[in-house]
Amino acid sequence: MKWLMFLFLSTLLLTGCGSFTFSDDEDGEVSIDFFGLFSGDSEDAITVTDKDGSEQSIGFEQDDDGSISVSGTGDDGEETFSFGAGGSSELHEEFPDDIPFPDTAEIFGTQRVADNDEVMHTVQFVFEEDANDVFELYKDYIQSQGYDNVQEMQADHNLSVQGGMEDSDEAMSLTISSYDDEDENMAVLILISGR
């Protein structure tokens, strides 16, 4: 991953670009500024400005364990997205505390995307417990939260359960991939909620 960042930064440095501007599809201009990145400001490393002057700042952080996190903030200072990968990724502070995880769960990826009134969290994790037991844990949780339209699917090495609310866009789903010859199972949990 470091070599990819090095290659990207080297290309920018060699071309002498600290920022560049290009036209978007609506006859406006979008500007991307790398000055924060070049000056060592990892919190506001890249700034993107649209034709209306609206800014989105993008920051990077690498922890000692090798995990990487990236986040973006809008003009209002509100976080619009974040994701973490590698090492032991942590859940976003807004992720609900009551959602269960298996005892052996190791989170290796997280994402959070906010758009107007909705927030979507995605969590990828591995676990050693029996896949069917974890499937039942999440099915029970989804049903206990009052989700309508609970659907489940079981096929070969995949288990999936999802639920949604009829009167809103709130939803939750879990997909588990389980293979007999592997020590760990992998799961992807998606939660969509209002702000």
Nearest Cα to 125, choosing from 156, 153, 99, 98? 99
pLDDT band at 25 (very low <50, low <70, confident <90, very high): low
- Say yes or no: 72 and 27 in one domain: no
Q: How many domains does the chain have?
A: 2
- Say yes or no: 93 and 25 in one domain: no
Q: Which domain holds residue 24?
A: 1-59
- Say yes or no: 67 and 126 in one domain: yes
Over the stretch 72-115, which tens digit does the pLDDT of each residue have? Answer: 777 777 777 666 666 556 888 889 999 999 999 999 888 888 87
- Say yes or no: 140 and 174 in one domain: yes
- Say yes or no: 50 and 133 in one domain: no
The predicted model gives 137-153 an average pLDDT of 92
- Say yes or no: 20 and 48 in one domain: yes
Given 59, 77, 104, the domain boundary residue is 59
- Say yes or no: 95 and 140 in one domain: yes
- Percent of the chain exceeding pLDDT 90 equals 28
pTM: 0.67
Q: List strand residue ranges (DSSP E) for the chain, in order.
A: 19-23, 29-33, 46-49, 55-62, 68-73, 79-85, 106-115, 118-127, 148-155, 158-164, 171-177, 185-194
- Say yes or no: 67 and 163 in one domain: yes
The predicted model gives 58-85 an average pLDDT of 71
Both structure tokens of 132: 């069917």
- Say yes or no: 71 and 124 in one domain: yes
- Taken in order 96, 44, 68, 170, the sign of the CA dihedral is positive
Nearest Cα to 44, choosing from 11, 88, 89, 79? 79
- Say yes or no: 116 and 154 in one domain: yes
Neighbours of 160 (CB within 10 A): 19
- Say yes or no: 19 and 77 in one domain: no
Given 26, 42, 59, the domain boundary residue is 59
Q: Residues with Cβ < 8 Å from 6, sequence gap 6 or more? A: none
